[in-house]
Amino acid sequence: MIALYNSTAKLVTHLFLQEKTVSSCLSALFVLHLDTNRRVLEEIKTFTRIMIDFEDIRKRTTNVKGYIDKLPDKDKDIVMESYEEYNLNIEAANELKDFLKDLKVVIFSAAWCGDCKRAMPVLLHLEEKYGLDAMVFGEIKTDPLNKDVRWRVPPSPPEINEWGATAIPWFEFFDSKGNKVATLIEKPKVKETLEEEILYILKNK
């Protein structure tokens, strides 16, 4: 704030010494104000990234296998049957392996979600064979009576509203420093399979 005050004072003094009008001074101050706001917003974004506490998130989540194990028996059977039948696109998965070394993914999911059931077999293969570091929030519920937010917290974690999730499954990919590098929503939009879609968004982030 002192630096900002000094910069502002110097600017105003300079303009008056140059016999500029009050209007010019006010315009200059407005530009300085906008520039300061931009810098503050960038600092806030950086601070937010730093504040992503993976240790805390990991305590409140499970990996993919743990999530599947906690599903109701009927849903678990559906997921595991699909897992047994599913064959990964090996070419895409092998290329994806290099990306996954330094990435973490936070996933919002729920037993009632059909797209979540279809995603989990793929994610389990990637977790077991290719080192996917996944943290799954598995008790997502909507909040239809609340006009201000889409998801009910709890049992949903506060992050689902804070991060602006609009549907599930919702995948947020982060690097090891907590910087968000990519988001995947619901299901593949460009490629045929989930593993190909993940590879696509990571290569084009």
Task: Please give the average per-residue pLDDT across 113-127, as a whole number.
Answer: 98
Residue from 70, 189, 182 nearest 120 by CA? 70
pLDDT score, position 176:
86
Domain boundaries, the chain: 2-50, 54-203
Token couple for 154 = 């709890």
Runs of H (alpha helix) within 54-100: 54-59, 64-69, 73-85, 90-100
pLDDT score, position 18:
52
Rounded-to-integer distance, Cα 59 and Cα 106, Å? 12
Peptide bond into 72 cis (omega under 30): no
Residue 3 pLDDT > 50, yes or no? no
Q: Which CATH architecture has domain 54-203?
A: 3-Layer(aba) Sandwich (3.40)
Give pLDDT tens digits for 153-193: 999 999 999 999 999 999 999 998 899 999 999 999 999 99
| Cα–Cα distances in angstroms (integers) from residue 92 to residues 125, 185, 193, in the given order | 13, 19, 10
Give pLDDT tens digits for 24-75: 544 544 444 545 555 544 444 443 444 688 999 999 999 999 999 999 999 9
pLDDT score, position 52:
83
pLDDT score, position 61:
97
Token couple for 170 = 């919702």
Average pLDDT, rounded, for the chain: 83
pTM greater than 0.85 (yes/no):
no
pLDDT score, position 205:
79
